[in-house]
Amino acid sequence: QTVESDERALLNVDEGIRFSKDSLFQMNLRFRMQNRAGFNSIYDGENLGVEQFEMRVRRLRLRFDGYVLSPKFQYYIQLAFSKADLDLETGDIAQPVRDAILYYTINKNLYLGFGQSKLPGNRERVISSGNLQFADRSIANSLFTLDRDFGLFGYYTLRTRSQSIFLLKGAISSGDGRNASAVNNGLSYTGRIEALPFGVFRNSGDYSEGDLEFEPLPKLSVGITLSENQKAIRTGGQLGAELFQARTLNSLIVDAMFKYQGWALMSEYMSRSTKDPITTNEVGDVRFVIVGKGVNTHVSRMIGPKSELALRYAFVVPDKSIDMYLERVDESLIGFTHYLNGHRIKIQANLGYRWLEGLYQIENSGNSWTGMFQVEFGI
Amino acid sequence: QTVESDERALLNVDEGIRFSKDSLFQMNLRFRMQNRAGFNSIYDGENLGVEQFEMRVRRLRLRFDGYVLSPKFQYYIQLAFSKADLDLETGDIAQPVRDAILYYTINKNLYLGFGQSKLPGNRERVISSGNLQFADRSIANSLFTLDRDFGLFGYYTLRTRSQSIFLLKGAISSGDGRNASAVNNGLSYTGRIEALPFGVFRNSGDYSEGDLEFEPLPKLSVGITLSENQKAIRTGGQLGAELFQARTLNSLIVDAMFKYQGWALMSEYMSRSTKDPITTNEVGDVRFVIVGKGVNTHVSRMIGPKSELALRYAFVVPDKSIDMYLERVDESLIGFTHYLNGHRIKIQANLGYRWLEGLYQIENSGNSWTGMFQVEFGI
Amino acid sequence: QTVESDERALLNVDEGIRFSKDSLFQMNLRFRMQNRAGFNSIYDGENLGVEQFEMRVRRLRLRFDGYVLSPKFQYYIQLAFSKADLDLETGDIAQPVRDAILYYTINKNLYLGFGQSKLPGNRERVISSGNLQFADRSIANSLFTLDRDFGLFGYYTLRTRSQSIFLLKGAISSGDGRNASAVNNGLSYTGRIEALPFGVFRNSGDYSEGDLEFEPLPKLSVGITLSENQKAIRTGGQLGAELFQARTLNSLIVDAMFKYQGWALMSEYMSRSTKDPITTNEVGDVRFVIVGKGVNTHVSRMIGPKSELALRYAFVVPDKSIDMYLERVDESLIGFTHYLNGHRIKIQANLGYRWLEGLYQIENSGNSWTGMFQVEFGI
C-alpha cells in the first residue's frame, strides 16, 4: 500500500481506480471518509457531565491524481464535501476545493507546482489527514499551521554520496489561504529544508504517522521552515477571521520524525510573530493576529502487527501582547488504532484531557475531557 | 433492473459503472437528475392565475456503492448538487453530503451501519427519491418525517418457518439531522418493525412506489416506528429552523405497502408530540415544534406495461397547541408516469390541488392548483 | 481532439474516460482546471503600483456526457467547484450545477433539450470556457450576456443544396438564471439564427476561439439573437443582483466568427433595453437593469503550429437612463497562448489596459493595467 503524499501526485497505487492510456494519460480516482462519534465533557465549576455528543462525517473526500500528455505533466485534485471540510463549521463560504495543482517534473530531483496545495510547513499538517494516528490534528496545528495556499511551489531533492538526503522546498503564494479572492499586493514566502541523515523512510514514512512499516534501522527526518506572509489579512495568515488591518507575519517551524522497529516519535515547534498584533475598527472592535508558540509531540508504538498505542502532549502559549484575549491551552491524548488496511481503513479510539491556563486540576472551570471513536474508510 | 435501497449498499446493478477487483474491492458509480417544469396557481381572492413557474433541476446526485477489503465492509455515499438538494432553498449552509455510511455485515440476517443515512422512519421517506411515483413527497412527509441523521444503525431480518418475514430496524443518532455540528448531549432513539406476512416483494418492491413488477400474488408490508429525540433543537427534530430552547420529541409512525397485479396501495400515518412545543427568545419571538399528525395515501395502477396512473390524498393537522401558527392543509394529486427504463428513466406529469383549513372550495384564499412535468434520468 | 460544445453532449472524444455498453449506455468523464496568477494595477491619482495579486483556481469542472438506453437520449452534466465557479465571489449561494440537461434527438437535423444549459446567446458565452483564447471573457459579455437558464431548448440544422448551412436555435426558459427558485410567472424567450455561407468549420471551429485548425478556405459564421425576458427580477436578467421590481428585458445580439489559414476574427454586438430600468424600494435604495450596449472584437493569428497571438478590444456603454450609476468602460488586451494539447492544455499570458469614461490617458483615476498568467489543464 503506497502512502499518499500531499506534495506530489500519487501515480502508483494498488487501491483506487486507475484509468490509463500508455504514457499519454493516467487518472487515479480515490475517495475516503471519516465517520465519528464522541463526546466533550466540560467542567462547569460544579459538575463534570457529557456536555456534547459529536456525531458526524468529519471528512469526505474525492481525490484525482494522474498525468496528461506525458508523465512530466502531473495533476492532483482533491475535493471535500463534509460540512467541516467545506469550512462551514467556522465560515459561511463553501470551499470544496482543497487541492488543485499541476506539477511539472524537470528531472528526478526537481519538480515545480502551480496551483493550490499545502505549503511546506509543519509536518503534522503536510501529513495527509488520511495518515493521522489521532482523530484530529493538535491544538498547536490549529493555531499556528501555515495550511494551504495558492502559488508557485518548488521541490528539490539533494542526494549526497552517503545515504543522507536533503529536501529543499519553497513556495511563493498569495498568503490568503484556500480559494482566496484578490485582496492586496502582499505575497507569502515559505522555505523549508529537511534532513534525513539515515536515508529515506520505508514507504514515505516521514510523512505518515505511526511506524506501520517497522523500520528495521533507525530513521530520522528533521525539518525547519521559515515563512514571511506580507500584508496578511487573516488572524492566522492563511486561516482565520479577517483582520481589520493587514499585517506581515513571520513564522518559524522546527519539526522531526523518528521511527524504529514499531516506535515512532514526532515533534514540532511552531511560532508566529508580527509587529503590533492587535487590529481595531472605528467602533473599537478588536481582532488580533494569533502570535505566540505551540508544541506538539507524539510517541507511538505498534503493539501488534496492525495495532498501535499512541500518546500526544501539545500546548499553545499566546504571546503576551494578546494574552488578555487568548489563554494557554494544554492537551494530552491517548489513542488506540487498529489498522485493518493500513491507514486506508482503520478504527481509532481517543481519550483526551484539555486544560486552560496551565491549571491541570479537574476543578478548574473550562477544563474538559473528550472521547472519540472514528472509522476511516477509503481506497 | 435492481431497485436501489437507501438502507443498504447497492452491490448488484446492471446499470451504472462498476469497478471491481475480485472480492477485494468494488465500486458502483451512478448519477441521476430530475429536471422539471411546472406552475403554481394560487387563488388570491379574486383571480386564479398562474402565480409562479417552477423550472429547475430539482435533484442531481452522484452515488457510490461498494465494498473494500471484503464484501463484509460496505459503503454507501451519496452527494447532492442542486440548489434544493444542498438545502439552499430553505437554509444557507450548503450540504452536499446526503449519505455517507459504512455497513458491517455480521451474518445474512444482521448488519450494522455507522454514519449518516436515513432513519428507519416513514416509508415514503425511506423510499429513494429515485423510486417515487409523484414528483415530490407529500406534505405529511414534509412536516413529520424523521429524515436523515448520523449515528449507529442496526438491521435484522427475522425469518419464520412460513413465508412471513419480520424486519427489525433501530438507530441511535445525534437527532440533529444531516451534517449537524455538536450542540448538546441529547441523542435520538428510533425503533421500527416491519411485517411482511406474505413474504418478500419482487425486486424490493416494498421500498419502491408503483407495482412495476405486477406481483402475481398479493404482497403486504406493515411498519411501525417509534422515535424519541431528546433535547432536539430544530422545529422538526432532524429538520427545520432552530428552536430557542431544546425539546424532547416523540414520534409514532404507522405505514403499509400493498401490491398486487399492477395495483399498489401505500399509506402512512405520522404524529409528533412534545411537552410545551412553543419556544421563545428574550424579545418574544416564537419558534415552535411542529406537533400534530399527518396522513398520506397513494393508490396506483399500471395502465400498460410501462405506464401508470396514481392518486394521492394527504393532509396534515397541527396540534391545537400550535394552531394559531400553522393551519391544516389537504392535498390531492393525480399522476401519470411513463417508465422508459423502470424508475431510472421516467416521465411524470402531476396535477394537484391544495386547500387550507379544510375549506376545499376554490374561492378560499390561499387554495392552489399545481401542475408539474418532470423527467428523471439516471443510471 | 474534438472541440467540446456547450450545446450538445460530447459523445466522441479521444481524451477523457469513456464507459460504454454497446448502444445501451455511454458516459464520458472529464475534468479541467484553470490556475492563474496575475496582478491589477490601478491608477489612484498619484501612483501606478500593483494594487492586487490575483492568484487562484479560477475554474475547476467535472463534466459527464453520454447517453442511456439509446443514443437518442443524451445527457450533459457539468459541475463546478472553484469559488468563482460556485458564484461565491459575488453571491452567497453555492451553485455547483452549471449544466444539467437531457437531449432528445428527433432526427439528424433536429434535437431538443430539457434542463439547464447555456441560452443561444452571444458567441463568446456559448464558446466553452475551455476554448477561450484570453483568460477571461470580455467586459461586454459580463454586462450583457444571456448566460445560462433552465427550460426547453430546440436546435435545428437547415441544410441547403450548396455548402451553406443555417442553424436555428430557440429556448423557452425561466429567465432567472442558474438554479433559480420559482419566483413569478414570467418566462424568457430566445431565438437565434446562424448562417454559415461557406459551410461548416473544421472541428466545430465556429465555437472555438483561435484558428488552431488553419482553415484552408475562408469560413464564416454570422449569428443574430433576439430575446425577451418577461418579468425578470435580476439586473441582467439571468445574472446579477435582485431588482426591487420585475422588468421585461429585450436583448439584441449580433456576432460573427471568421477563420482562414491561422487567422481568426470574432466580433459581437450586444444590447439590452427595458422600460424604466430604475427600481427602488420604500427607503429609496436604487437597483437598475443594466441597459445599454457592448461590443467585443478579437483578432488572432497562429504564429507557429501551436502558438498564437491575439488582440481584444471591447467596450460597454450604459444607456443614458442609468449613466449616473454606471460608466463607460473600454478594455484592450494582448494575449499569447501556447497550445500544448489544443485547448485542453494551454499556457496563456495576457496584458491589458482598461479605462473609464472614454479617458484612455493613464492619469485618469481608476484606469488600470492587468497582467495574467494562466494554465489550463484538462482531459
Q: How far is C99 from chain B (nearest CA, A)?
A: 9
* CATH code (residue A25): 2.40.160.10
The answer to whether position B2 is within a domain reads no
Q: Which residues contact C345 (CB under 8 A, 6 or more apart)?
A: A68, A69, A73, C339, C376, C377, C378
Of C64, C97, C182, the CB nearest to B57: C97
The answer to whether position C6 is within a domain reads no
Number of domains comprising chain B: 1
A121-125, A291-295, C367-371: range with lowest mean pLDDT: C367-371
Q: What is the pLDDT of residue B360?
A: 83
Q: Give me the amino acid identity at B351.
A: L
Q: Tell me the pLDDT band of B20, cut-offs 50, 70 and 90.
A: confident
Q: Which residues of B touch C98 (CB under 8 A)?
A: none
A123 φ, ψ (degrees, to nearest 5): -60, -40
User: Coil, strand or helix: which one is B139?
Assistant: helix
Q: Residue written as cell 531533492? A: A157
**Using one digit for the tens of pLDDT, what is the confidence trace for C97-116?**
999 999 999 999 999 999 99
> Residue B45 — left, alpha, or beta (φ > 0 → left; ψ -120 to 50 → alpha)?
left
Three cell numbers written together for B173 = 443518532
Mean pLDDT of the region A290-319: 98
**Using one digit for the tens of pLDDT, what is the confidence trace for C328-349?**
999 999 999 999 999 999 999 9
CB contact under 8 A, A55 and B185: no
Q: Which residues of C65-76 are buried (b: 16+ CB within 10 A; e: fewer)?
A: bbbbbeeebbbb
Q: Which residues of A touch B182 (CB under 8 A)?
A: 40, 52-56
The answer to whether position B11 is within a domain reads no
Helix (H) or strand (E) holding B151: strand B148-159
Of C25, C77, C182, the CB nearest to B33: C77
CB contact under 8 A, C100 and B33: yes
Q: Tell me the pLDDT band of C10, cut-offs 50, 70 and 90.
A: confident
Helix (H) or strand (E) holding B141: helix B139-144
Start-to-end Cα distance in chain A: 10
Start-to-end Cα distance in chain C: 10
Q: What is the pLDDT of residue C2?
A: 78
Mean pLDDT, chain C, rounded, equals 93
User: Coil, strand or helix: which one is C199?
Assistant: coil
Q: Which residues of B touch A345 (CB under 8 A)?
A: 68-69, 73
Answer whether A261's CB lies under 8 Å from A215's CB: yes
CB contact under 8 A, B95 and A83: yes
Exposed / middle / buried, residue C38 (Cβ in 10 Å: 0-12, 13-18, 19+): buried
CB contact under 8 A, B345 and C180: no
Q: What is the pLDDT of residue C204?
A: 94
**Using one digit for the tens of pLDDT, what is the confidence trace for A344-358?**
999 999 999 999 998
Helix (H) or strand (E) holding B123: helix B123-126
**Using one digit for the tens of pLDDT, what is the confidence trace for A47-87?**
667 788 999 999 999 999 999 989 999 999 999 999 998 98
CB contact under 8 A, C56 and A182: yes
Q: Which residue of B has its CA nearest to C178?
A: B56
Q: Which chains have 3 or more CB–CB distances shorter than 8 Å to chain C?
A: A, B
Q: What percent of chain C clears pLDDT 90, i.e. is strictly above it?
A: 80
Which residues of B fall below an 8 Å CB-CB distance to C? 15, 17, 31, 33, 35, 37, 39-40, 49-57, 60, 81-83, 86, 88-89, 92, 94, 96, 340-341, 344-345, 375, 377-379
The answer to whether position C202 is within a domain reads yes
Q: How far is C92 from chain A (nearest CA, A)?
A: 7
CB contact under 8 A, C187 and B53: yes
Q: Which residues contact B96 (CB under 8 A, 6 or more apart)?
A: A81, A86, A96, B79, B80, B81, B85, B86, C96
The answer to whether position A97 is within a domain reads yes
CB contact under 8 A, B15 and C25: yes
CB contact under 8 A, A75 and C377: yes
CB contact under 8 A, B25 and A35: no
The answer to whether position B133 is within a domain reads yes
The answer to whether position A280 is within a domain reads yes
The answer to whether position B4 is within a domain reads no
Helix then strand count (H, E) for chain A reads 2, 19
Q: What is the pLDDT of residue C163?
A: 94
Q: What is the pLDDT of residue C88?
A: 87
Q: How far is B129 from chain A (nearest CA, A)?
A: 21
Structural domain including A179 reads: 17-378
CB contact under 8 A, B185 and A15: no
Total residue length of chain B: 379
Answer whether B10's CB lies under 8 Å from B76's CB: yes
Q: Which residues of B touch C19 (CB under 8 A)?
A: 17
Q: Which residue of C has its CA nearest to A91?
A: C92
Angstrom distance (rounded) from CA C313 to CA C311: 7
